[in-house]
Amino acid sequence: MKTTLTVVLASVFSNAAFGQIGINTAVPIASLDIVAKRSDGSTAEGVLPPRLSGDEIKAADLQYTERHAGTIIYASAAVRVPSSKTVNITATGLYYYDGKMWQRMLQGDPKKLHPQSAGDIKNSVQPSDHNGWYLLNGRSVSSLPLPAQNSAAGLGFTTSLPDAADRVLKTRNGAELLGSHGGNNTMTITRSNLPDINLTGVVSGTAESAGAHTHGSGEGGFLLGGTDVGNNGSGHYQGNNDISSWGGVGLMSSTATSGAHIHALSGIATVPTGGMGASMDNRSAYLVVNTFIYLGE
């Protein structure tokens, strides 16, 4: 141990003037250049970062600020009850601090950052859960693996996951809860939805039988009068030889064929639209996929 420390310190101090540090090399080509001590397989080579459990990392939340962005730690276990900074520590692996929270580094390629964080949503034709992605089908949170339960709880889903079946995603406004449902796939137009216009159509019906009306005659009349002479063909008439009887002379004409009329008609005229009141499908053309949420592996 003393020999190793002496070699490392000597290497550090010998290159300090150049602003670069080399381990197992006298000619570092970067700020920190680590060269394997042996390449014959007789020793374990590599860089071993600090190893802490998720809970131990969480315990130091207050110690990490924006100045610590880029810090790398190996999480030996997922955090059990995540904080806002450790919500992504859902499995063992390398994590880096981005100045606000810990992000997982992509498994199999430490040069790339893991593109998923707890709570990420994606659409896929995958039929079921896979690689830390869980189908949003309304299932109970208690049915998930424990690490996924913790991630779901950290996102506010303590009872069940949202059910995305037959729904599209909508960006949240200030008053909505993340994961809540709304809207309908069908709609029915009511009278208040119609445009404010006058509809025209043919009205048919029967006028009231006693509708108010007048009839005018273009000619004719009738004259009645009392006489004291018999009917001698002149139009005079005496009934029963009684001079007080009435008789008449005159002419009565029929009402003109197109006599003036006024008919009063009251009521509500109904113009049928021919519709059936069926609801309409409110969806655009679509491709059927599944919706998943990332809760960690």
Higher per-residue pLDDT: 96 or 192: 96
What is the tens place of the pLDDT at every residue in 138-173?
Answer: 999 999 999 899 999 989 999 999 999 988 888 888
What is the tens place of the pLDDT at every residue in 179-191?
Answer: 888 888 888 888 7
Considering only 18-27, 198-207, 224-233, which range has the smallest mean pLDDT?
224-233
In this predicted structure, the answer to whether residue 128 has a pLDDT above a threshold of 70 is: yes
In this predicted structure, the answer to whether residue 6 has a pLDDT above a threshold of 60 is: no
In this predicted structure, the answer to whether residue 28 has a pLDDT above a threshold of 60 is: yes
Threshold 0.85, pTM exceeds: no
Pick the closest to residue 134 from 163, 104, 105 (CA basis): 163
pLDDT, residue 231, reads: 47
> Kind and range of the H or E element at 10?
helix 2-15
In this predicted structure, the answer to whether residue 93 has a pLDDT above a threshold of 70 is: yes
Burial of 16 (0-12, 13-18, 19+ CB in 10 A): exposed
Highest mean pLDDT pick, 131-135, 204-208, 236-240: 131-135
What is the domain partition of the chain in residue ranges? 2-34, 48-115, 116-170+286-297
Question: What pairs with residue 135 in β-bridges?
Answer: 292
pLDDT, residue 296, reads: 84
Give dist(CA 148, CA 142) in Å, integer: 9
- 4 pLDDT band, cuts 50/70/90, is very low
Which residues lie below 8 Å from residue 58, measured CB to CB, with a gap of 6+? 79, 82, 83, 85, 86, 89
- 56 pLDDT band, cuts 50/70/90, is very high
Pick the closest to residue 271 from 202, 207, 205, 206 (CA basis): 202
Task: Answer yes or no: are the C-beta atoms of 95 and 70 closer than 8 Å.
Answer: no
Q: How many other β-carbons are positioned within 10 Å of the β-carbon of residue 77?
A: 15
Pick the closest to residue 86 from 161, 151, 152, 159 (CA basis): 151
Give dist(CA 288, CA 125) in Å, integer: 8
In this predicted structure, the answer to whether residue 101 has a pLDDT above a threshold of 90 is: yes
Task: Answer yes or no: are the C-beta atoms of 227 and 243 closer than 8 Å.
Answer: yes
Higher per-residue pLDDT: 242 or 166: 166
- Of the candidate CATH numbers 3.10.450, 3.40.50, 3.90.1340, 3.30.460, the domain formed by 116-170+286-297 belongs to 3.90.1340
